[in-house]
Amino acid sequence: MAGTDHRRRAPGGGPAIILVEPQLGENIGTAARAMMNCALDDLRLVRPRDGWPSDKAVAAASGADMVLNKARLYPTIAAATADLVHVFASTARDRGIVRREVTPRRAAIEMKSHIAAGEPCGVLFGPERTGLLNDDLTLADTVLTVPLNPGFSSLNLAQAVLIVGYEWYITGSEAPSETLHTGLSRPATKAELLNFFEHLEEELVRNGFLRNPESRPSMVRNLRSLFQRAHCTEQELRTLHGVVTAFAGPRQRSKDAGLG
């Protein structure tokens, strides 16, 4: 449908839209157009297959140049989500992972509340052909699923972005039924959480817990999923770092002293 009034309000604020390995410039452009429709302007691209910038994206965006001009390129999902506190992962498939799942409408209500509290949010969208991988979901707190015909529920990239963006745009400031009170400590960012994951997994490899290379990936995903659901604060993560260091400490000190 046509209809653009450049005198009306421009995009600003809202969750980051993170496209993971988008395959075509045209799909990036139509996703940007969907964002502009819904007053979203934080577009993040993780390893677009055909490179960036893209003339095809500009053509397909049909005037959503403001979104494309601000788009940022990242090498990994971890880098693209590092400054975020809450991350939703859009997927239509049952991944067999214990994960909280919400509709776009519920996600929009929660994101409004989080952003109002100064806690940045983002939504991950996977490649057009395969969607997000299980390892990608370990960097998200919540799975976002659109309830559609179970016999044909796949969406193209722009459709998925538009549905999420639309729910964000029309949602008021209704507070979610659950509120997380973190006391004097702020919620941990994804960069801080990933740093803890790396510390924990390094020590688990050293002590032999992750010795089996076949089961290691699923065990790591389960551990990361557990801590994602915990919604740790920055202070809690510092405590957990200390716990991991304490368990590893005696063995490490013996090694440093030449006794190991």
Cα three-residue angle 137-138-144, rounded to 5 degrees: 35
d(CA 112, CA 257): 53
CA 107 distance to own-chain centroid: 13
Strand partners, 44: 18, 72
Domains of the chain (ranges; CATH) run: 16-170 (3.40.1280.10), 190-256 (1.10.8)
Q: What is the pTM of this model?
A: 0.77
pLDDT digits (tens), the chain, 260 positions: 455 554 454 555 799 999 999 999 999 999 999 999 999 999 999 999 999 999 999 999 999 999 999 999 999 999 999 999 999 999 866 556 667 899 999 999 999 999 999 999 999 999 988 889 888 888 898 999 999 898 888 889 999 999 999 999 999 755 555 555 555 688 899 899 999 999 999 999 888 888 888 888 888 988 888 888 888 899 999 999 899 988 887 654 445 544 44
Measured between its terminal Cα atoms, the distance across the chain in Å is 71
Buried/exposed code over 195-209 (b: 16+ C-beta within 10 A; e: otherwise)? bbbebbbebbeeeee
- CB-facing half-sphere around the CA of 114: CA atoms within 13 A: 24
| Nearest C-alpha neighbor of 223 from the set 254, 194, 183 | 194
The alpha-helical segments, DSSP class H, found in 117-189 are: 134-137, 157-170
